[in-house]
Amino acid sequence: MLNPTNQTELTHADAVEISKTWILLLISGLISVIVGIVILRVNWTKDDLALVVAILFILRGLFRAIVRPIDGSGRGWNVFVGALEVAVGIAFLVWSGPTLLVLAIFIGAWVVVTGIFDFVGGVANRHNTSLWWLFAIFGVIEVILGIILLNNPEGTLALIVLLVGIWSIVVGILQIVVSFEVKHLPKMIK
């Protein structure tokens, strides 16, 4: 959603265009929360978990690629990050029987990458949204969690399921909250 660029001023016309996609951000957040809850409630096999994680990454990637960045810049950054998310999801689908090690590496690497994007995007857009600091904080947390996953890929599937479920819920809640700010963006920028 956020785009780490040097642009600091958002025009009213940009705000109107950006606000048109608020519902996509809301839907993406709701899907993330629902998938996170399902992940935490079900006793998963590795293959089942890989399928659900694949669907989550593909849907989040598609929504991210469609939503315009808050800073009013082009969609290039969002399309790039969205394409990476879709690629990770496809990797889970194509490699239907991933081992715990591969699953942990995919998840850990993606959490690190997402954390870096969220941190940089939050800091770069601190003039455009009042919730920039949430993205920066969640970015740091995501990087730390991703490094923990990468350093211990032999960890239990239960730990990975727990982290993915919590991560999905937290990111989904953040997207839901930000979607309403995006909806009212034209009112905030005159």
The per-residue pLDDT for range 13-71, each reduced to its tens digit, is: 777 877 888 888 898 899 889 988 988 888 777 777 778 778 888 988 898 888 777 65
Position 97 scores a pLDDT of 60
Position 137 scores a pLDDT of 93
More confident of the two residues 108 and 84: 84
Spatial neighbors of 182 by CB under 8 A, at least 6 apart, are 18, 19, 21, 22, 25, 70
Position 7 scores a pLDDT of 47
Choice among 24-28, 61-65, 79-83, 186-190 with the minimum mean pLDDT = 186-190
Task: Place 4 in a pLDDT band, splitting at 50, 70 and 90.
Answer: very low
The CA distances from residue 15 to 34, 36, 189, in Å, are 29, 31, 7
Helix axes 100-124, 132-151, angle to 10 degrees: 160
156 pLDDT above the threshold of 60: no
Alpha-carbon distance of 46 to 116, in angstroms, equals 27
Q: Would you call 67 helix, strand, or coil by DSSP?
A: coil
Alpha-carbon distance of 100 to 132, in angstroms, equals 34
Task: Place 96 in a pLDDT band, splitting at 50, 70 and 90.
Answer: low
The per-residue pLDDT for range 100-119, each reduced to its tens digit, is: 567 677 778 888 998 998 89
